[in-house]
Chain A
Amino acid sequence: MKTITLLTILLSGAVTFAQQAPTATAGSADNGKRLFMRDGCWECHGTVGQGGRDGARIAATALTTAQFSRYVRRPTGAMPAYIDKVVTDQELSDIWAYLKSIPAPTPAKDIPLLSELKGQ
């Protein structure tokens, strides 16, 4: 019963957020960077969102803020779910803004060392 209740709450929250997202205040990338560290996003995704064994590369995310928020509330993989009591909708918008602000990585072919190792 507890699980069902929690899921219901999470689901309601996700639906509510998805509806509200288009009207949410534009995120602050600076605050998002701070929250990215505070909320432990870096633990799996790396401090610049580069990704790793436990988390995907999310720097320069291609997701919309609504898609991003929906995933954080109800992740389909193994990522911990963050409820709005832990990270508010506005904070999620800020984190999204930070991720969006990170420049896309330099392609491997343009990094001499990687290019050389790959061509071996």
Chain B
Amino acid sequence: MAKTKKVSVSRRGFLKRTAAGAAAALAVKPGAALAQPQAEPARPAAPPASVRQVALETSTPAPVDVYTTDRPGADFMVDVLKSLNFDYIFANPGSSFRGLQESFINYGKNSKPEWITCCHEESSVAMAHGYFKIEGKPILCMAHGTVGLQHASMALYNAYADRVPVYLILGNEQEIAFRRSDVEWAHSVQDAASMVRDYTKWDDSPVSLGHFAESAVRAYKVMMTPPMEPVVICANGGLQEEPMPEEDRRTLRIPKLVVPTPPAGDANAVADAARILVAADNPVIVAGRVARTPNGIKLLVELAETLQADVIDRKFRMNFPSRHPLFNTAAAPPDLSRVVAGADVVLGLEVPDFWNATHAQTPINRMGMTSRPITKPGAKLITITAGDLFSRSNYQDFGRYAEVDLAIAADAEATLPSLIEACKRLMTPDRKRVAEERGRKLADEHRRTRERDFDLAAAGWDASPITTARLSAELYNVIRKEDWSFVSDTTFISWWPLRLWDFDKHYQFIGGHGAYGIGYQAPAAVGAALANKRHGRVTVNIQCDGDLNYAPGVLWTAAHHQIPILNVMHNNRGYHQERMFLQDMASRAGRGVENTHIGVALDNPNINYAMLAKAYGMWSTGPIENPKDLGPALKAALDVVKKGEPALVDVVTQAR
């Protein structure tokens, strides 16, 4: 919880704008208690007064040109934002928030929050996205209310869909008289937040410093209440740059922040859920974004073990240890369908696509569209999700309406303790025996799946391009004795790390994009690495080539701020998902695939990511095409990372 901080009104002097006084410029040094008009310099006796001079002496005096203030409004804004305890500011510079930036780096001493230089607003927000998923703390981002937000918007949508809070300040000049050029007109907007209102939780455009203080604190509170989502506060240019009014100095205060406790499920509904789960012969738990904190993993393990239930992790978060005998690697049809089809109860915990997890649709290789439930008749469906507490209409990330038997509108992690207790109370010796027998079968299946995965990983072991299985195995071999944190999505590498590695800590996996907006991975990984830095962890990122090309400047950010991260390129030289879709479309049309490289291949010339990284000041090696060279290259890169620097290993890989 942030502390209330009183504004100092006497620390610096104050210069009040006045219309009276001499026409000459008046310079006031910072710290001056009170500005007094200075005496005019003596004029020469001759020659006679010019026309300009006469005009100056006979016309209405112009307002005093006030050059300085020792207390711009931005200083107070900084006090407010510091009270919210942000660690960092991620921003690409923008003139519409120059006042705030100056106050942060001078008045705020560039500490708590510290300014991190970003090369693209999309990178700023995606870095904040990754940072939060490791540290559980939101980041303050800044951007122009116009062109900056336009850049940031996709990353903001990713964060929104991934239920990640981001605190975004937008610079804007609302007062037309203060817009000094066509640039400032082009960078001003009537309602800045409207552009992203469909995928943010709350926004405001304060018109005074007092208004800013209240809205800034409210925004933080709204953002951090599950379901957590990004928020936007507009910082008017005049409020930032003009002197803080004297009246404000005496009266302004920063409201006290209290973040609400996460909403837990209704006791009666939880008891109903427990009765259904304990009575089930084959309960299956589908985990979405369950574990907000490390404790979420412990709770999910406790529930699964109490019920001896199969756990399907949708891989949005680190929810469940990957080598736990109840962990099921099924992520997509047909394995997912098979597991769900055998269930008589399916419990969805913070699953954003619960309908998809329980239904099958006509695959893309066939015309038309039909769908059917994959659950068996009479199977009970239960959901616990804070997603039921908040909805937007326009963007459709909420998925298809799921017809369930019991929907508990609550935060799953906050509800798990009472659900576990309710289940334990209902576990009779007979039900325990049934559960234990089920658990033994699931453990056998887990072991067989693991055997199969390792055999599949062996296929193409010496192939070039290098298989993603070998890449994952070689990488794990290098880092497994370190305190590692894997910060990549695994969708595009056939989930190999989750199949081969031993994940059991909250920071070892953070899921993916949220809205599958490409351009997320590289900056999110750097943000996550910055969070890991203070804990001394080795951050590992398997980086898709297509994603890195959106905003590679984030490599410079990592090098400049000395953020240790081991980047390993998954360089398959193309936007491969799209290539496969083109293959599908060509086949549907009864045509060949000879042309489906057009618009999706990233070759001719091949991109050398090792050289790219070097250009940004990052240690690098590659491109590596011989799998035998991979292990030594990864070891060399790890040595660099352990010295506190980022590194990149370019690996030419199989498509998936």
- Contact partners of B334 in chain A: CB under 8 A: 77
Contact A79 B365 (CB under 8 A): yes
Render B429-460 as a binary contact track against A, CB cut-off 8 A, 1 for contact: 00000000000000000000010001111111
Tally B residues with Cβ within 8 Å of A: 52
B88 at the interface (CB under 8 A from A): no
Shortest 9 CB-CB contacts between residues of A and residues of B: A50-B460, A80-B587, A50-B459, A52-B656, A53-B494, A78-B363, A108-B454, A40-B593, A105-B459
Residue of A at shortest CB range from B577?
Answer: A54
Known: A3-B368, A108-B457. A77 touches B587 (CB 8 A): no
Render B562-596 as a binary contact track against A, CB cut-off 8 A, 1 for contact: 00000000000000100110011011101111101
- Closest Cβ of chain A to B345, distance in Å, is 28
Contact B465 A47 (CB under 8 A): yes
B656 partner, pick from A49, A53, A59, A117, beta carbons under 8 A: A53
- Contact partners of B364 in chain A: CB under 8 A: 78, 80
Residue of B at shortest CB range from A105?
Answer: B459
Known: A46-B467, A47-B654, A52-B494. A40 touches B596 (CB 8 A): yes
Contact A6 B363 (CB under 8 A): no
Contact B476 A117 (CB under 8 A): yes
Residue of A at shortest CB range from B368?
Answer: A3
Tally A residues with Cβ within 8 Å of B: 42
**Interface-forming stretch among A22-30, A62-70, A82-90?**
A82-90
Q: How far is the CA of A47 from the CA of B656 in the complex (A)?
A: 10
B495 at the interface (CB under 8 A from A): yes
Contact A46 B460 (CB under 8 A): yes
| B-facing residues in A84-120 (Cβ within 8 Å) | 85-87, 105-108, 111, 113-114, 116-118, 120
CB within 8 Å of B: which residues of A?
2-3, 6, 38-40, 42-44, 46-54, 57, 59, 75, 77-83, 85-87, 105-108, 111, 113-114, 116-118, 120
- Contact partners of B494 in chain A: CB under 8 A: 52-53
**CB<8 Å pairs between A and B, sample of 29:** A3-B367, A3-B368, A39-B593, A46-B460, A47-B460, A47-B463, A51-B456, A51-B459, A52-B468, A53-B492, A53-B493, A77-B334, A78-B363, A78-B364, A80-B364, A80-B365, A80-B583, A81-B366, A86-B590, A86-B592, A106-B461, A108-B455, A111-B461, A114-B454, A114-B457, A117-B473, A118-B450, A118-B454, A120-B480
B198 at the interface (CB under 8 A from A): no
- Closest Cβ of chain B to A33, distance in Å, is 13
Q: How far is the CA of A105 from the CA of B459 in the complex (A)?
A: 5
